[in-house]
Structure 1
């Protein structure tokens, strides 16, 4: 197959959309398919042997947003895809879906970003109905819309978006593994993070973008819990304020980490905490579970499907900071419970390979192609 992947985010940006697109491209390359990537610039010139076409873009709160342009349409016309994959379409993805419909190209859209929730977190709640109207319009051009969780599928249905199916997210259980804690670099990192802390101190960790929509200010009260030290991995516009709020607490902000460094950071932790309430999935939860950590996350959106309440961690009422703190306190105080939940969490994510999800999305492509062909008869 020839697949045109139009994505609102790509390398070097690190986020859930980029990760999913990269994993899909890896699978397409391994399976012998052909692809082109269209994304906001700047970006690499190629990935996995596939050409990457940049479109003009602007920055907003640390995001690079692509601008619809004639270059995008030219890229599609030059490549002549069998199917269009629109990753989290909103701007250039919307243009691509419209262009594909006019050319009779089958389309699969991936709903991955809760844009309406993002608007609310940035003080723009009044715009949420307008955002949903725009999303309905965008997805009306998609033959299939794939979403990563039952909560997201319900949101789409409630807001009038149809032709939906489930398509989850995989996790690399080889890269993210508890064994990193026992290696020499892993032990050294943990010793560094615990320097000056009392015996038995537990490391509470957060990994993700440091931005208003992630509600990272909620981490501050966790930094003062007895017997615990806070570790945050990531970067973003909220970092300066978070650094000021955590000054003098002993908390450690490690900045953005990737690859082996990120895997070691996960494995060095004792408890993983997620604070955002607008996640359509929650990939960092899976990575933490693969690393053998119990997780604490809001009972909203994607985490509802990821976390087995009381078995692999705890789900708290999304707006209840006291409930968040209570759940973390329980885990900080009970190393045996942490070990049991961490082991159960790893077992839960072991079957969720990117290879299986890559094969699944190829099936969705074929279904979209067959559906388009049947309407032409």
Structure 2
């Protein structure tokens, strides 16, 4: 099987889309699946023989993605030589459009991923007037595809509500050896002056759609009663960082962007993951926190609801309901056995999320579509 991927985000960027695709690359290499990835260029990037880069610039609305300037004719020539069996468009922007055009011009099976709720982000950027046209565009794009893979049941349901054709669940895994409670390091709490304290952690993009004012406000309210017992850590970067720093109490540590051992140690050395974002299609960081053995307090919206089991591996909160997060945090502060039970169950749940199993399922879906394609061709020609 030969697969061509088109994406507007890839390594060295670090986000759920790039992470999933890079893990799939490892899987394809191990299983001798041929592939080509068409992705944007970056100033600092590693060389991959199967990755073809196009000039790109930052997408102002959502900097996790880049707007590429692909040369369609050059890409078509490369793809004709590669002769793909199937095309997978990972994002809906310039690179995705290039893949869509090529697949349809060659009558190839075409699948897509729906990874980011950009239409839902618009309200946070004072662009709600674009919500309806953006949904129309995404619906047009994805309805050109034979299958639209979604990272959660909630996202499948959302696309069905919006009139998208053929949404299908493609679950995701987690590296349970990399994100592990075994990596706990006492030096982490010491470095942030939080020795002997309960650490509440957030990891992710620091941006309006994450509702991080809730994180800061809950910290302030908890400090009125528990200041000597608690500390807060926010890992990540983004457009809201300066404003959050300005409003934050002195026991919130902002680390900036962390990767590798520094990130996994921070996860494992914290105690509670506090995540108020209501806009996730999956919420990879929830799985990373669970795998690291943290109790979860999270907004029970979007893709998070696939993995958060209220009272078992975390405490579910309603969207934008600050009191829910405060009450959950206070409950955990005052009940150590509850925190430990939630943390142990979170780790056990994460151990069921195997990457190879999820990729095996994706490849089977590819194979099923390839078997259907001759029938589709006959129907289109009749």
Scaled to the shorter chain, the TM-score interval is over 0.9
CA distance in 1, matches of 2:8, 2:250: 37
Alignment of 1:55-70 (within 5 A): 55-60=55-60, 62-67=63-68, 69-70=70-71
Deviation at 1:178, TM superposition (A): 0.6
Q: Deviations over 1:186-224 (max 9, x none)?
A: 1111222344x6x5x210000001111212222211333
TM-score, with length taken from structure 1: 0.93
Q: Deviations over 1:263-310 (max 9, x none)?
A: 111011110011211101111000100011111111210111110101
Distance 1:75 1:210, change over 3 A: farther
- Residue 215 of structure 2 corresponds to 219
1:152 matched to 2:155? The reply is yes
- Residue 331 of structure 2 corresponds to 330
Quick check: 1:8–1:39 contact (8 Å CA) kept in 2? yes
Quick check: 1:106–1:369 contact (8 Å CA) kept in 2? yes
CA distance in 2, matches of 1:153, 1:58: 28
- Residue 188 of structure 1 corresponds to 187
- Residue 368 of structure 1 corresponds to 369
Partner of 2:302, secondary structure, is coil
Deviation at 1:144, TM superposition (A): 0.7
- Residue 109 of structure 1 corresponds to 112
Quick check: 2:273–2:296 contact (8 Å CA) kept in 1? yes
Structure 2: which 5+ runs fail to align? none
Deviation at 1:45, TM superposition (A): 5.3
Partner of 2:294, secondary structure, is coil
Deviation at 1:157, TM superposition (A): 0.4
- Residue 342 of structure 1 corresponds to 343
Quick check: 2:67–2:93 contact (8 Å CA) kept in 1? no
- Residue 269 of structure 1 corresponds to 270
Distance 1:81 1:88, change over 3 A: same
Deviation at 1:148, TM superposition (A): 1.3
CA distance in 2, matches of 1:159, 1:75: 35
Deviation at 1:260, TM superposition (A): 1.7
Q: Deviations over 1:135-165 (max 9, x none)?
A: 1111122111111111111110011111121
- Residue 26 of structure 2 corresponds to 26
Alignment of 1:96-245 (within 5 A): 96-181=99-184, 186-195=185-194, 199=196, 201-224=197-220, 225=222, 226=226, 227-245=229-247
Mean CA deviation greater in 167-176 or 249-258 = 249-258
Partner of 1:46, secondary structure, is coil
Q: Where has structure 1 moved over 6 Å in runs of 4 or more?
A: none
Distance 1:75 1:279, change over 3 A: farther
Deviation at 1:376, TM superposition (A): 1.9
- Residue 249 of structure 1 corresponds to 250
CA distance in 2, matches of 1:81, 1:347: 39
Distance 1:45 1:256, change over 3 A: closer
Quick check: 1:107–1:368 contact (8 Å CA) kept in 2? no
- CA-based RMSD of the aligned residues comes to 1.7
TM-score, with length taken from structure 2: 0.91
CA distance in 1, matches of 2:211, 2:78: 38
- Residue 10 of structure 2 corresponds to 10
Deviation at 1:75, TM superposition (A): 4.1
Partner of 1:278, secondary structure, is coil
Structure 1: which 5+ runs fail to align? none
Partner of 1:171, secondary structure, is coil
Deviation at 1:44, TM superposition (A): 3.0
